[in-house]
Structure 1
């Protein structure tokens, strides 16, 4: 959804409310693909502060589906998206700040609401996504999901720095 700021920038100290609509259905983050199943209805409020600043606010929650970090099973979780941005405007367009650079959510005279929401989702994204708190993950030997069935594989991971000690122990086993 794109909102033109041309009309609002000519009204100092005025606000306009728009019914929000997000068209993002999927995105990639840290090498994994995620889909957005639902975004709560929201309003986008554009407010002029004097004649030179545009304040953008919106609050919503997105329901995202993606892989569990341990077992790769799809998990549904909610991510809040709360936008509170103020940008400089001049002659109906956003002025880019040399320190910040161009705003990724600005396209000429338009504010890209989808980009604002995606940025907030990524900022508020959970550090670890788990299907359950005690997820057992995938067996590193046979690849089975340990939450579904136990595989019985020996998954002892030895520290490679201790390999020489293991060789010594194994040589004593052969002597017996």
Structure 2
């Protein structure tokens, strides 16, 4: 019987179990947010088409919201891709290595990815703070802070996904997709 996606896998370590349950919940939540942002972008796109071509009264504010909802969608979907091991990679060395070397390679990749995500979180937060004095074009009452906040928020979700993938690796293989 297949397990539920949010159900922790049975292990003999309760702390590992608890973290993996939290990781599944956080990745699922981030993916729900990404899906909501995609739905928002699609709805706003349809609204813009109707307003521009049917009613001949374009709503410029929708273009800005579509752009920023797509940015939020991407940064909220990254943790799910990282967690599933579905990011583009060259893993020939990993496949040909013995299990202990594979774990070492996994640790090096996890640390390097955490470092990169750490930079994104740090500079994303700095950028969001600097952008808080700007307003969105077409939406003068909304601060750019909310658009730029996608980087650190998505990065924090990604950190949890990276650690979860290191603890319980899953790899999406092209050969098994058939």
What is the TM-score when the length of structure 2 is the normalising length? 0.20
| Structure having the larger proportion of residues in helix | 2
| Structure having the larger proportion of residues in strand | 1
Pick the structure with greater CA Rg. Answer: 1
What is the TM-score when the length of structure 1 is the normalising length? 0.20
